Structure 1
Amino acid sequence: MNTFKVVENGVQAKREIDDLIMQGYSKNEIYLLAHDKNRSEDLSDSLDIKDIGVAEQGVLESVANVFRTRGDALRAKLESLGMSPLEAERYEEELDRGKVVVVAGKSA
């Protein structure tokens, strides 16, 4: 089961990530999403956590994201982490508002 948290900024994201690590998650099990791709990459890099990629989404979804709008790609990424389409849409609306989503999931 994955844990999803919505935060306002990088400082709050770091706090959530630290809390998740204290709960037993490794940095390889924590992901971060922001609506702006550069912001998402910058935060992931500065907080030393993974990006959602081929391992999480699969090859076909990853390639398909190249041709999708950012919102569609974000919803696909959220769904690949276990969200229903309706939940992914709601979280993507939070991303539209400039918020950040922190996701943690135990590796199988």
Structure 2
Amino acid sequence: MNPTNAKPYAKIVANGIQAVEVVKELQSTGYGFDDIYVLAHQQDVTAKIAETAGAQEIGLKEEGMFDSLANLFRSRGDELRSKITSFGFTDAEAEFYEQELDQDKVLIIANHKS
């Protein structure tokens, strides 16, 4: 979760190759492994991109215990929106990003830890 009021960086890209490129660019500007997250509509795609790019998946630490457990019972769209809002994005922003993920795009979130 974002401990400050500043919103994290977020970018939608068309595919995993572009996601890896964006992650590498963020790393070259000072973001570390613990600062960069990737999210795709399919969980296996998210895992593959995260591993290839040297980024993280959004998990328990970012979402919190309640939301993480609740995601076990949510639709994939609801789960994605929950993961996105856990970084401080509004419901409307999460809806927009989730619709982009529905089109097989990839979301990269970078958030400097304080």
* Superposition TM-score tier, normalisation by shorter sequence: over 0.9
Once residues 67 and 22 of structure 1 are traced to their aligned partners in structure 2, the CA distance between those partners, rounded to angstroms, is 38
1:94 correspondence with 2:97: no
Among 24, 40, 46, which residue is 2:46 paired with? Answer: 40
Offset of residue 37 of structure 1: 1.1
2:10 aligned counterpart, secondary structure: strand
> Which of 59, 73, 78 is residue 67 of structure 1 equivalent to?
73
Aligned positions, number: 108
State which drifts further: 84-93 or 5-14.
Answer: 5-14
Q: Per-residue deviation at 1:107?
A: 0.8
Counterpart check, 1:29 vs 2:16 = no
- What is the identity percentage for the equivalent residue pairs of Structure 1 and Structure 2? 39
CA offset digits 1:17-65 (Å, max 9, x no partner): 1111122110111000000111111111222211111110100000000
* AA partner of residue 89 (structure 1): E
Q: Which runs of 5+ in 1 are unaligned?
A: none
